[in-house]
Amino acid sequence: MGNKQTIFTPEQLDAYQDCTFFTRKEILRLFYRYRDLAPQLVPLDYTSKPNVTLPYELIGSMPELKDNPFRQRIAEVFSESGDGNMTLDDFLDMFSVLSEMAPRDLKAYYAFKIYDFNNDDYICKSDLEKTVNKLTRNELTPEEVSLACEKVIYEADLDNDGKLSLEDFQHMIIRAPDFLSTFHIRI
Amino acid sequence: MGECGLSTAGRTTRPRAVPELHVPHSRVGVSALCPCSQEPSPDNEGALHSSFCQLIEEQSSLVAGPSALLPSLDPIASTGLEPEQGEQHPGYATTLRILANMPSRTIGRSRGAIISQYYNRTARLRRRSSRPSLQQLNRTARPSLRQFDLESDPAHATLADKQSLLAKELLSLPPAQRSQVLMEVPLSLEEKRSLRMPSLCPHPPQGCRTLWYRFLALVHAAQPWHYALKQISGRFGSSVLSYFLFLKTLLLFNIISFLLLLVFVVALQAAYPPAVASPPPFTGLELLTGVGSFTHSLLYYGYYSNTTLNDPSASSPSGSTSPSRATQLPYNMPLAYMFTIGASFFATCILLMYSMYHSFLKSYRVGSSTGVLAIKIFSAWDFKVVQRHSVKLQSENICTQLKELLAEQRLRSCPLSLPQRLRHITVLLLAWLLALGTVLGCVVAVYYFSEHMHTVSTQEGVLLALPLIVSLLNTLMPHFYNLLAAWEKQDSPAAEVYVAILVLGLLCYQWLSRRLICSCWETCVGQDLYRFVVMDFIFTLLDTGFGELLWRLILEKKLKSKRRPEFDIAQNVLELIYGQTLTWLGVLFAPLLPAVQVLKLLLLFYIKKTSLMQNCQSPSKPWQASHMSTVFITLLFFPSFLGAAIFVSYTIWWEKPSETCGPFRGLQTIYQTPKVWVELLEESNPNIAWFSWIPQYLVENTVFLFFLSGIVLAVIYFNIQVLRGQRRIICLLEEQIANEGEDKKFLIQKIHSIYDRKVPRGKCWGSAGMESHCAPLLRAGAGGWE
């Protein structure tokens, strides 16, 4: 494999390889996916570190995300500004965390942020209700949703403050072996 | 105690350690606390009170509007604090905000907290201790604050300091670990790059890293079917994907076996073919039956010679060796055959155990198994599913499962009455008896049929009858068991594998007892196994065709229903396990059988994928993908691989090889081969007589084997005890966390009760009121300093 690509400098590629779970080939493939979303905005030369941000609408239209009920939260969590508009770094970070090789703790950390709709570092009852409604597309009755949320808090809340903190969430995820295989997007 | 909580918000005064005010052990209930003995002295109380008072003032001036109460007031009120205190106390909101700034709460949000957490982890990594050393655990099992040196504690440094500290720690790690830590830190890519920068300066071993990355890239590029798997998971989810991943794993095992055998046995024998009579012409039937022109070919054991290939001592007596042959390396074929088979089994064993280890690591649950609803809600959504229709189906499935779970929890409160329980037990018992009966029935039927087959004259087509019957049974039994499972409302896919394994066990016994009939019995057994493998493939195709294609057509055209058949994951995986067992059984007798299996698996992948895409719908039952993957790989190891290994070992150690064919003719057992070789070595070179010591005293010596087994058992026992200890520690830690919550509530209550006594209710909680009331206290408190 020769250094035929001119998009990144070798140091940039090494940095990406060190900081994400992707190999060189996958990083280039992801770059091309990013560029395909808006070829006129994204330059082919990233050696000068251009400051290019793609709006949320383009990210949310990717086939991997467009039918995911949590796509808006995913984009908000991984974007630097918190509004869903992503740079290439955010894009790579997102797919790196959602890849197969990411460890459980890292995924649990970001999953917690995704399910925390009001960004108050706790998953409170309203966050849970929104999650359940998104999961079931509002098919459950409000009483069932409320009952489910209360049961979840009862089961997972360890320090009895009525909401789930990151530690409660991580403690529960350790007991969910399927989490690693479901919190995974193939790109 | 207040020091820890106050430290993160910039405090202006730093009271000296307050020895008398210590947190009472949380096991003591709040009400049991005797105020007179535990109450701090007025001086110290004042110090605490004034510093907290100042802190609240600072916080409330920083945050807009101290009168705005946090919306999360309700949960705190519901967790045990007295309602009138919670609702009416005006300083409550700011107390909550301060609590929200505590280090344990800011890990989710503050980068500083993340960095200090990872600093601690990295420092521990550098010291290479993953568990806390025993000296650190006090008897109270609760870390005392006095252990922490607050001055040099990195948690209290500024953000830039923390970053530089972490970068320095990273520098001291070896590059692989550094990379691992960097990848796992939950910071953005920019920050990771800035942490990485200082560690770039000394980079002489850069060449190694780039080589390693290139190797990784090659390995990843060699991953076939990336897009096919993505398509499958996009439409059907992780559960169906697990079947295809299992197929890929099996393909890997077979390719490794095949390569080993190809390089060391098959290729060399092909280069030096033995003199055989001209083979009969090739008819198409050989592909199915394996006899005829295939009998004396590389496919079977009988073809391989028992001499040393390319032996220089066997060259022509005229002595004129052609000068173009520079080196003549003699190759001992029997030894190579035996050792290569052994090596391929050993390699497969190691790979299987490694896969099992990885599976268990991902899916093993330590601790209790409660919290089903929470786990369902947070890990049920499969992010891999991308097709719109499948996403809709997934939502419906999750909805149904949640409803079921909620209903189940309601039902659990009313247990079954006696007649219902009796009925349940009888159903279970009947189902069990039925299953057991059918298994025994199948085994007996196969036994009598095979006995009958051997007495009938062997025309070529008739040879296929036995494999046909066995494959038919293997295909029909799982459908029967599915019906049983639907009736008794439980499924255990492992039941189906017992039929297959028992039938195979019976057949093994038959093959070994058949030696007297066939002249070259190993080739006969090899041919039998070849026929079984081919029949298994044909029946899998038929099952796919009838089970999926035909069923879909019937549903669409005749019954006019929108439903499509579902992909039965368990049955398909068990068919794969059965086919693989056949291959492992047959490797000794037909060295090219792994190649046949590789071809079969490749074809199967494409056929199954096409049928899946055309005919099936996404699964509607919940399927725990990781748990079932672990079950399958364990089934592959435990009855399947171990059974084949035992059969092959038995054949090598005890069975007399046939006299007329194969690489071991003339020997008493196959195991004699290395002994003969060692004796030859000893004769030629008496210096290495010690080499014969190894098999005699190590392998054949029972004492040594007992000793080895004893060590293995001791290691297993030790690990079990460690695991038990860890479970107990988890329980203790969970209790501690709950107690910490109680502690916080106690502190809040205490502080508010102190306020209520000092600052009478009804006075306004503005900064003016604060100054007028706090000033005398400040003075009193200041008096307490010096």
Q: In sequence order, what DSSP letters do the residues of B709-734 get, joined into one string?
A: HHHHHHHHHHHHHHHHHHHHHHHHHH
Which is more confidently placed, B599 or B157?
A: B599
Which is more confidently placed, B260 or B690?
A: B260
Best residue in B130, B369, B377 for a mutation probing chain A (most A CBs within 10 Å): B377
Residue environment code for B175-214, b if the CB has 16+ CB neighbours within 10 A, otherwise e: eeebbebbbebbbbbeebbebbeebeeeeeeeeebeeebe
- Rounded Cα distance between B289 and B299, Å, is 13
Of B340, B277, B278, B274, the closest CA to residue B308 belongs to B274
A152-157 average pLDDT score: 89
Of B519, B551, B676, B648, the closest CA to residue B590 belongs to B648
Q: Give the pLDDT of residue B658.
A: 83
Mind listing the pLDDT tens digit for each residue in B344-391? Answer: 999 999 999 999 998 888 776 655 556 788 888 998 899 999 989 889
- Which residues does chain B have within 8 Å of residue A82's beta carbon, measured at their own beta carbons? none
- Rounded Cα distance between B109 and B101, Å, is 10
Best residue in A118, A181, A184 for a mutation probing chain B (most B CBs within 10 Å): A181
| Nearest chain A CA: its distance from B83 CA (Å) | 15
Q: Give the pLDDT of residue B196.
A: 82
- Rounded Cα distance between B339 and B341, Å, is 5
Q: Give the pLDDT of residue B21.
A: 33
| Nearest chain B CA: its distance from A152 CA (Å) | 5
Cβ-proximal residues to B605 (8 Å cutoff; 6+ apart), any chain: B225, B228, B244, B247, B251
Which is more confidently placed, B283 or B36?
A: B283
Residues 107-126 of B with CB under 8 A from A: 107-109
In this prediction the ipTM stands at 0.94
Which residue is closest to A131 within chain B, CA to CA? Answer: B377
Which of B200, B217, B378 faces A23 most closely, judged by CB atoms?
B217
Q: Percentage of residues in chain B with pLDDT exceeding 70? A: 67
B616-643 average pLDDT score: 85
Cβ-proximal residues to B317 (8 Å cutoff; 6+ apart), any chain: none
Give the Å distances, CA to CA, from B43 to B15, B46, B52, B627.
12, 5, 14, 60
- Which residues does chain B have within 8 Å of residue A106's beta carbon, measured at their own beta carbons? 184, 186
Length of chain B, in residues: 786
Residues 18-57 of A with CB under 8 A from B: 18-21, 23-26
DSSP state of A122: S
β-partners of residue A164 are A123
β-partners of residue B309 are B331
Within an 8 Å CB–CB cutoff, is residue A159 touching chain B?
A: yes
Which of B188, B391, B738 faces A67 most closely, judged by CB atoms?
B391
Whether A162 sits inside 8 A of B106 (CB atoms) is no
Whether B184 sits inside 8 A of A106 (CB atoms) is yes
Q: Percentage of residues in chain B with pLDDT exceeding 90? A: 15
Compute chain B's Rg from CA coordinates.
37
Work out the widest C-alpha separation in chain B, in whole angstroms: 123
- Rounded Cα distance between A149 and B348, Å, is 47
Q: Give the pLDDT of residue B442.
A: 82
SS3 sequence of B275-329 = CCCCCCCCCCCHHHHCCHHHCCCCCCHHHCCCCEECCHHHCCCCCCCCCCCCCCC
Run of H or E residues at B308: strand B308-309
Cβ-proximal residues to B169 (8 Å cutoff; 6+ apart), any chain: B119, B122, B123, B126
- Rounded Cα distance between B588 and B655, Å, is 13
Q: Among the listed ranges B188-197, B404-413, B580-589, which one has the minimum average pLDDT value? A: B404-413
Amino acid identity of residue B63, one-letter, is V
Backbone phi and psi for residue B360, each to the nearest 5 degrees, phi listed first: -65, -35
B218-230 average pLDDT score: 77
Q: Give the pLDDT of residue B785.
A: 38
Amino acid identity of residue B355, one-letter, is S
B73 and B93 Cβ atoms separated by less than 8 Å: yes
Which residue is closest to A105 within chain B, CA to CA? Answer: B184
Tokens of A127: 């966050």
Whether B379 sits inside 8 A of A179 (CB atoms) is yes
Of the pLDDT bands very low, low, confident and very high (cuts 50, 70, 90), residue B554 is: confident
pTM of the model: 0.76
Of the pLDDT bands very low, low, confident and very high (cuts 50, 70, 90), residue B128 is: low
Average pLDDT value over all residues in chain B: 74
Which residue is closest to A25 within chain B, CA to CA? Answer: B217
Q: Among the listed ranges A112-126, B154-168, B291-305, B499-513, which one has the minimum average pLDDT value? A: B154-168
| Nearest chain A CA: its distance from B184 CA (Å) | 6
Tokens of B328: 């003549």
Which of B186, B220, B384 faces A109 most closely, judged by CB atoms?
B186
Q: Give the pLDDT of residue B603.
A: 95
Which residue is closest to A177 within chain B, CA to CA? Answer: B363
Q: Among the listed ranges A107-121, B119-133, B257-271, B328-342, which one has the minimum average pLDDT value? A: B119-133
SS3 sequence of A46-87 = CCCCCCCCECHHHHHCCCCCCCCCCHHHHHHHHCCCCCCCEC
Is residue B167 exposed (0-12), middle (13-18) or buried (19+ Cβ within 10 Å)? middle
- Rounded Cα distance between A108 and A164, Å, is 13
- Rounded Cα distance between B633 and B252, Å, is 14
3-state secondary structure of B153: coil
Cβ-proximal residues to B762 (8 Å cutoff; 6+ apart), any chain: none
Residue B257 has pLDDT above 80, yes or no: yes
Exposure on the CB side of residue B437, measured as CA atoms within 13 A: 8
- Rounded Cα distance between B431 and B752, Å, is 65
B442 and B499 Cβ atoms separated by less than 8 Å: yes
B330 and B310 Cβ atoms separated by less than 8 Å: yes
Q: At what angle do helices A142-156 and A125-136 cross, to 10 degrees?
A: 120
Which of B72, B214, B402 faces A140 most closely, judged by CB atoms?
B402
Tokens of B644: 């084949």
Of B248, B424, B257, the closest CA to residue B345 belongs to B257
- Residue pairs between chains A and B whose CB atoms are closer than 8 Å: 229
Of B733, B738, B726, B716, the closest CA to residue B366 belongs to B726
B122-146 average pLDDT score: 56
B57-66 average pLDDT score: 54
Cβ-proximal residues to B115 (8 Å cutoff; 6+ apart), any chain: B159, B162, B163, B166, B187
β-partners of residue B331 are B309
Backbone phi and psi for residue B311, each to the nearest 5 degrees, phi listed first: -80, 125
- Which residues does chain B have within 8 Å of residue A136's beta carbon, measured at their own beta carbons? 395, 398-399, 402
- Rounded Cα distance between A94 and B505, Å, is 51
Best residue in B114, B383, B395, B410 for a mutation probing chain A (most A CBs within 10 Å): B383
Tokens of B253: 């095992």
3-state secondary structure of B617: strand
Residues 148-207 of B with CB under 8 A from A: 178-179, 182-184, 186, 188-190, 192-193, 196, 200
Run of H or E residues at B331: strand B331-332
B88-95 average pLDDT score: 58
Backbone phi and psi for residue B231, each to the nearest 5 degrees, phi listed first: -60, -45
Which residue is closest to A66 within chain B, CA to CA? Answer: B386
The CB density around residue B68, as the number of other CB atoms within 10 Å, is: 9
Residue B318 has pLDDT above 50, yes or no: no
Chain-centroid distance of CA A126 in Å reads 21
Whether A68 sits inside 8 A of B391 (CB atoms) is yes
- Rounded Cα distance between B493 and B631, Å, is 10
Amino acid identity of residue B151, one-letter, is E
Compute chain A's Rg from CA coordinates.
19
Q: Among the listed ranges B303-312, B628-637, B715-724, which one has the minimum average pLDDT value? A: B303-312
- Rounded Cα distance between B405 and B398, Å, is 10
Residues 81-120 of A with CB under 8 A from B: 89-90, 92-93, 96, 98, 102-103, 105-106, 109-113, 115-116, 120
- Rounded Cα distance between A32 and B397, Å, is 35
Q: Give the pLDDT of residue B157.
A: 61
Tokens of B735: 């209790």
β-partners of residue B308 are B332
Whether A67 sits inside 8 A of B371 (CB atoms) is no
Which of A63, A112, A125 faces B386 most closely, judged by CB atoms?
A63
β-partners of residue B294 are none
Within an 8 Å CB–CB cutoff, is residue A124 touching chain B?
A: yes
Helices (H) and strands (E) in chain A, counts: 10, 0
Q: Among the listed ranges B159-168, B525-534, B657-666, which one has the minimum average pLDDT value? A: B159-168
Length of chain A, in residues: 187
- Which residues does chain A have within 8 Å of residue B364's beta carbon, measured at their own beta carbons? 177
DSSP state of B515: G
Amino acid identity of residue B662, one-letter, is G
Whether A140 sits inside 8 A of B740 (CB atoms) is no
Whether A128 sits inside 8 A of B377 (CB atoms) is yes
B376 and A140 Cβ atoms separated by less than 8 Å: no
Which long-range contacts (C-beta less than 8 Å, at least 24 apart) are formed by B449-457? B450/B507, B450/B510, B454/B514, B454/B517
Whether A68 sits inside 8 A of B193 (CB atoms) is no
B435-457 average pLDDT score: 78
Q: Give the pLDDT of residue B107.
A: 59
Of the pLDDT bands very low, low, confident and very high (cuts 50, 70, 90), residue B439 is: confident
- State the first-to-last Cα distance of chain A, in angstroms, to the nearest integer: 22
Of the pLDDT bands very low, low, confident and very high (cuts 50, 70, 90), residue B43 is: very low
Give the best-scoring range by mean pLDDT among B13-17, B522-526, B534-538.
B534-538
Whether A183 sits inside 8 A of B78 (CB atoms) is no
Q: Give the pLDDT of residue B433.
A: 85
Residue B504 has pLDDT above 60, yes or no: yes
Amino acid identity of residue B606, one-letter, is Y
| Nearest chain B CA: its distance from A110 CA (Å) | 8
- Which residues does chain B have within 8 Å of residue A1's beta carbon, measured at their own beta carbons? 214, 217
